[in-house]
Amino acid sequence: MTPMGDHHIPVGASTRRGPLRAGERVQLTDERGKLNTITLLAGEEFHTQHGVLRHDDIIGGPEGVVIENTHGFEYQVLRPLLSDYVLSMPRGATVIYPKDTGQIIHMADIFPGARVLEAGVGSGGLSIALLRAVGEYGKVFSYERRADFAEIAEANVTTFFGQRHPAFSITLGDVQDEAIQEHEPGSIDRVVLDMLAPWETIDTVATLLAPGGVWLNYVATATQLSRIHEAIRDDGRFTAAEASETMVRGWHLDGLAVRPQHRMVGHTGFLIMARRLALGQEGLELRRRIKTFKQEDMDIWTPEDDAQWHPEKHGQREPTTKRAKKAVRQSKAQAQRAVESLESVVEQENSPTDDEQQA
């Protein structure tokens, strides 16, 4: 909770309204529609081939201002939306795109106060969306195997909210080993996984998830989708799984020239969701024709060999150590500036007015 005067303002709200402050991230849109995201710093300048824009000319001004640089080139200044922030923040792992994040929040039915278990944190984009949905009285328990990714995610979350979110915790380690020791059986409302082999966690998920709770997986390939579906169906402790993918196509708008854009955000991943049944209950066998197959075909399609489930085998490139270290430095620096910016606002709000001092 963030005390502001005599009333409470929810975490993150102070960074989304009011004058633009030093330490904040802002989005500059130029006359040609090009976007640049910068961190406002007193005395700094933004240089392009079109001239120089002084940060001091922006700091203290309202959001949505249109400002000229030294050569008269105009920029529109706004705070980034969550979707903008996620795509521009420092990252080690590839982020889940906003189109999929929105579906996850709705398909998994993330509600205020929910206790959510997340594994495969990456750069923290989904963590931010989950925290917004659960609010300050919920919990997001995140697990990440890589220390550098965990550092990046934690810093990105802090930068966005302007402080460490009270509902957020991140544990370094394997979710199968750590979560089962940290949580009571049936104490988790929702489980959201972004992992290469989520079927390996099925016993952990079934143990921790409350009856009626939602288990949602984000997977990149059809091979992974098939295997997690078969694992859920064979386990018997969950409802029949539902799978989908989301594609977004923008439209070109120019007077009467209204048409689909030539490019679209196509396949990024699949979402597959199932719900936990009550203890001792088995899922209904749906009255429909089940496609038969030979077990040897399934073994070829979804091999047990762990080497086959390396990220590179599925087109997922691991970031280099150099790139990850750079993202760690950038994300931590931005988080520190965001915290300092919010602290200055809190200090100003809580400082006595002239009338109060005279009294």
99-152 pLDDT tens trace: 999 999 999 999 999 999 999 999 999 999 999 999 999 999 999 999 999 999
User: Does residue 222 sit in helix, strand or coil?
Assistant: helix
Predicted pLDDT at 358 = 60
Query: Would the pLDDT of 300 be above 60?
Result: yes
Which residues, at least 6 apart from 351, have a Cβ–Cβ distance to it below 8 Å? Answer: none
Query: Would the pLDDT of 292 be above 50?
Result: yes
332-352 pLDDT tens trace: 888 888 777 777 766 666 666
Predicted pLDDT at 303 = 66
Which has more pLDDT, 303 or 106?
Answer: 106
Between β-strands 51-54 and 115-119, what pairing exists: parallel, antiparallel or unpaired?
A: unpaired
Which has more pLDDT, 259 or 340?
Answer: 259
The CB density around residue 250, as the number of other CB atoms within 10 Å, is 11
Give mean pLDDT, residues 23-47: 93
Between β-strands 188-193 and 115-119, what pairing exists: parallel, antiparallel or unpaired?
A: parallel
Question: Which domains are delineated in the chain?
Answer: 2-80 (3.10.330.20), 84-281+292-304 (3.40.50.150)
Burial of 228 (0-12, 13-18, 19+ CB in 10 A): buried
Per-residue pLDDT band for 2 (boundaries 50, 70, 90) equals: very low
Per-residue pLDDT band for 285 (boundaries 50, 70, 90) equals: confident
Predicted pLDDT at 136 = 94
Predicted pLDDT at 338 = 78
Predicted pLDDT at 353 = 56
Query: Would the pLDDT of 91 be above 70?
Result: yes
Q: Which amino acid is at 359?
A: A
Residues of the chain with pLDDT > 70, as a percent, come to 84
Per-residue pLDDT band for 305 (boundaries 50, 70, 90) equals: low
Classify residue 284 as left (phi > 0), alpha (psi -120 to 50) or beta: beta
SS3 letters for 59-123? CCCCCCCEEECCCCCEEEEECCCHHHHHHHCCCCCCCCCHHHHHHHHHHCCCCCCCEEEEECCCC
312-334 pLDDT tens trace: 665 555 666 777 888 888 888 88
140-179 pLDDT tens trace: 999 999 999 999 999 999 999 989 999 999 999 999 999 9
Predicted pLDDT at 177 = 93
Which has more pLDDT, 102 or 2?
Answer: 102
Rounded Cα distance, 70 and 226, in Å: 57
Q: What is the rounded average pLDDT for all residues in the chain?
A: 88
DSSP state of 313: G
199-217 pLDDT tens trace: 999 999 999 999 999 999 9
